[in-house]
Amino acid sequence: MEELTESETFIMDELPDDVRELFASLIKTYRHEIQTLKTKNKQQELKHNLHAIELIQETEKAKDIAEQGIHLLQKTIKNIKQLKTPTATALVDIQSQINEMKAFLKPQETKPSPLFSESVPIFLATKVKAKSTVIKSYQMTFRRFLEVCGDKPIRDYTGEDAGAFRAC
């Protein structure tokens, strides 16, 4: 049998002999289920990360193709401008479109994630039909979460934070 925690040992010592084996089996099953859930969670996280990597690769490929097209257009415009043709006005329009394409291809800055404490009132405001006891329960849970995990941007919380909160 795996090593029991202090509270499990205390409970085990207090149980009648005929129930101890059942209790030990329940603890073993519980631990197995927890490990299974952790494994499934890790698999989902890996699938998500793999999908994100694939999207980044596709975006980079499209960006490279667009940049090559921009380079060719700029080269063509430069050559046509040197010919002093009446199309110079049209070339200015094309150059403007190229600049717009460059701006579009420029990586966008990600918006900062709000702090957990800033999100709580917004979440609670959506619970207009909830009973006051439910709202108070949410508030107590959120307060305890902040005590355990700290106030961070929401995107910065990890599975470790969730585990620490569950453990308290």
CB contact at 8 A, 95 and 77: yes
C-alpha dist (Å) from residue 23 to 18, 20, 30, 166, 167: 10, 5, 10, 22, 21
pLDDT tens per residue, range 57-66: 888 888 888 8
**Nearest-5° Cα angle at 74, 71 to 78:** 140
* pLDDT digit string, tens, across residues 107-151: 777 788 899 999 999 999 999 898 999 999 999 999 999 999 999
The residue extents of the domains of the chain are 6-105, 116-167
Residue 81: the pLDDT is: 67
Between 3 and 8, where is the model more confident? 8
Inform me whether the pLDDT recorded for 1 exceeds 50: no
User: Sorting pLDDT into bands at 50, 70 and 90, what band is 105?
Assistant: confident
List C-alpha distances in Å: 144 to 62, 139, 148, 151: 46, 9, 6, 11
Confidence category of residue 79, pLDDT binned at 50, 70, 90? confident
Question: Which pLDDT score is estimated for 26?
Answer: 83
Determine the 3-state secondary structure of 146 from DSSP.
Answer: helix
Q: Does the pLDDT at position 4 exceed 60?
A: no
